[in-house]
Structure 1
């Protein structure tokens, strides 16, 4: 182990597809639809949303600024890794533990309700505190709850936020600023995001259908994924990071895929591996016309048509600021061999890894380069790929071309 090596030791996660990493791993082996049809966030237009329906813990901190659903999600994920976090604080000291959280919503849902009451009655509700909706609120909440005093801040770069939090955690550890970081992404549903994406004509009224010629857009979702990040070799290695900001357009991706190509290539270079070493790619795969076109072009240029890949957004919805962390979490579970063995199999003469199935109508868009999408009866086209899975890559491509690719590696 070198001082620059960084590991994702423990994972807490919840979303529409499950209330913990174990249940999410199990549910990814099915084609079950976890979307909830509701008009609660869309003013009379029923939409499929990745709503989480499980129990959430109560927040015991007294200040109003902490009382948000976003912070409840963060606490639920944190509770799943509390023993590892507690041990790290005891080992390294509160000054050496940081918190970095990606989000795009924070407590905006609570602010929406408060502003509506203020507009209707002229009175601000007693529970309301402007701090609820500050982007830094969830990171500060976790830091306050744990009593840690290392760097504590949020990252809000739309759909890449959660992944960028993990990259930032690695930088803090490599720089010697922290010995441990609680890092990931947390985003909860609110009308601002659902109606905002609807105004962009990017929302589907049916379950999202990534890379199909019939794709119509995304399903907005909510969720959280938190990791304990240290240089202790347990869990999975954060082997490679490739980041970029091409600023092509405020909401549309560069149609040539140039920004995505740079990120994936930089992540491979950072990990010191060739594209053939990657056994699975978790696609950004939003099911919008523009994103899937761009990502297909970029994937084909970097990985060709053999590397197994899938979008898991039909299971989770697009969880925006949490997506990069949740999808890195799915790769983490793959490297732990946590997914049931019934999903997807390699050729019969190889070890059987498990890959998340790509749920779609299997109607190929002939205008897109061919990808090796993981179908329920998946058999990889490559007979030379090493098994078991050694490296998995996760893509997160955000507004403004704020892109990132993460490579997670199995600990040898």
Structure 2
């Protein structure tokens, strides 16, 4: 697994930020609305330029994806040597792709009457990151993007699973990438959906999200590995274009479907990473769905105050957080803290939020964890990763 986000530019930096020994890069930027700034999760340094022969794919989104991919060069090379380039697929999630470059080019068109000479329309298409990665690595398998808003890169895990089970490939690069762009920031600010300052999931004072950016990518194969994909649950409750079902019907069904595929009971989950956006409706329905299945026994936290809501990349980034946490399970894994103001909402059911007093699991050679991603239109996905379990 490779990743970049506000938590860090490498998995090691991410571990340090999750442990509280390094600050996540949450910063204030212009909201593009008069007199308003917003807090966002931003990568700490600009990603390196793409190689010269890939410049026709140059967007900031693709540069972030390439930064994460280069972290797993050795694993990708071994996979290519074993299976051949024609048997490796690419499935990614995004919601921004190269839209920021598109809006910048359009701004120049309005000012000068012509688009920039280096403008390429294809760079802002939703499928661009998969096209880029397939060409960059010379792969010949299926390559496409899933774009279902905030569930996009959680759904790539089940899509990759299906390709492998169907025998259409022998390995899949799955992940997600989303970059900060003016259109997204201004849009959520105009909707009055952004928090004033740092977001506060589950708080009585929660008032909206922080937008974030980042990328995470995994190599998925059939053979056993220290960390396994055990189950994915996908549902669509279609309750409303942009509001979740108030009782969390679809969210609960997605978690149950993931457990069923994994052959697990709720008591088998050692930690749950919430979607946890800090919006009134999402936190309300998600806490109800979690309480219905898990009661107040499983440790739960939202990591979005540390990353921002990375939208199409959120599912992959938060699964990557599970991946890093699971590696420490045999020694007693430190759990990501739930960062908030400590003001519980009396209207929400009690769930076990991770605090300084309960942020470490006992040593476990067999450990499973779940991550939730929920999106506009009632698109829901839950992912279970584990270590030490018999793999499906």
If the length of structure 2 is used for normalisation, what is the TM-score?
Answer: 0.95
Per the TM alignment, residue 118 of structure 1 is displaced from its structure 2 partner at its CA by: 0.6
Aligned partner of residue 238 in structure 1, secondary structure: strand
Aligned partner of 2:2 among 12, 21, 28: 12
CA contact (8 A) 1:102 1:156 kept: yes
Shift in Å, 1:90: 1.3
Query: What's the offset of the Cα at 1:351?
Result: 6.7
Counterpart check, 1:203 vs 2:194: yes
> What is residue 357 of structure 1 aligned with on the other side?
337
Q: Secondary structure at the match of 1:28?
A: helix
1:30 partnered with 2:20: yes
1:196 CA displacement:
1.6
1:317 pairs, out of 308, 314, 321, with 308
The corresponding residue for 1:411 is: 388
Write the deviation string for residues 230-276 of structure 1: whole angstroms up to 9, x where unpaired: 01212411101100111111111111100001000111111001000
Q: Does 1:107 align with 2:111?
A: no
The question of 1:271 aligning with 2:262 is answered yes
Q: Unmatched 5+ residue regions in structure 1?
A: 1-10, 339-349
Question: Which residue does the alignment assign to 2:378?
Answer: 401
Q: What's the C-alpha RMSD, in Å, of the aligned pairs? A: 1.9
**Bigger share in helix:** 2
Structure 2 counterpart SS, 1:240 = strand
Q: Distance in 2 between matches of 1:169 and 1:61?
A: 30
Q: Superposed, which structure 2 residues align to 1:327-406 within 5 Å?
A: 327-337=318-328, 352-378=332-358, 387-388=364-365, 390-406=367-383
Aligned to 1:248: 239
Contact 1:353 1:388 in 2 (8 A): no
Give the distance between the partners of 2:114 and 2:143, measured in 1 at CA.
33
Q: Distance in 2 between the 1:83 and 1:43 partners? A: 48
CA–CA distance in structure 2, aligned partners of residues 56 and 43 of structure 1 = 30
Q: 1:42 to 1:408 in 2, by over 3 A?
A: farther
Alpha-carbon distance change, 30 to 63 in structure 1, aligned in 2, over 3 angstroms? closer
Match of 2:281 among 287, 290, 304: 290
Match of 2:253 among 259, 262, 268: 262
1:31-110 counterparts in 2 under 5 A? 32=23, 34-39=25-30, 42=33, 44-62=35-53, 65-110=56-101
**1:124 maps onto 2:104 in alignment:** no
After superposition, give the CA deviation of every residue in 1:302-334 in whole Å (9 maximum; x if it has no partner). 111111010000100000010000000001111
Which among 153, 159, 162 is matched to residue 162 of structure 1?
A: 153
Distance 1:352 1:149 in 2: 41
Measured after TM superposition, the shift of residue 200 of structure 1 is: 2.3
- How much does 1:64 deviate? 5.6
State whether residues 65 and 128 of structure 1, in contact with CA within 8 Å, keep that contact through their aligned partners in structure 2: no
Name the CA distance, whole Å, in 1 between partners of 2:104 and 2:34.
14
User: CA 1:114/1:200 → structure 2, altered by over 3 Å: closer, same or farther?
Assistant: same
CA offset digits 1:91-132 (Å, max 9, x no partner): 101110000110000000101110111112211011211111
Q: Which residue of 2 aligns with 1:4?
A: none
Question: What is the CA–CA distance in structure 2 between the aligned matches of 1:361 and 1:333, rounded to whole Å?
Answer: 26
What SS does the aligned partner of 2:7 have? coil
Q: How many residues align?
A: 388
State the secondary structure of the residue aligned to 2:211. coil
Which deviations, in whole Å up to 9, do the C-alpha atoms of 1:18-73 show, x marking residues without a partner?
00111101111118453111116555421111111224121125466401000000
**TM-score after normalising by structure 1:** 0.91
Is the contact between residue 54 and residue 136 of structure 2 (CA under 8 Å) also seen in structure 1? no
- Between the aligned partners of 1:302 and 1:15, the Cα distance in structure 2 is 30
Distance 1:44 1:116, change over 3 A: farther
Distance in 2 between residues matched to 1:379 and 1:195, nearest whole Å: 36
From the superposition, tell whether residues 236 and 214 of structure 1 become closer, same or farther in structure 2 (CA, over 3 Å): same
Structure 2 CA distance for aligned equivalents of residues 165 and 16 of structure 1: 22
Separation in 2, partners of 1:149, 1:306: 46
Where does the alignment leave 5 or more consecutive residues of structure 2 unmatched?
A: none
Contact 1:328 / 1:406 at 8 angstroms: preserved in 2?
yes
Say which SS state the counterpart of residue 279 (structure 1) adopts.
strand
Shift of 1:352: 3.1
For residues 2-30 of structure 1, give each alpha carbon's deviation from its aligned partner in whole angstroms, at most 9, with x where no partner exists: xxxxxxxxx00000110011110111111
Cα offset for 1:409? 1.1
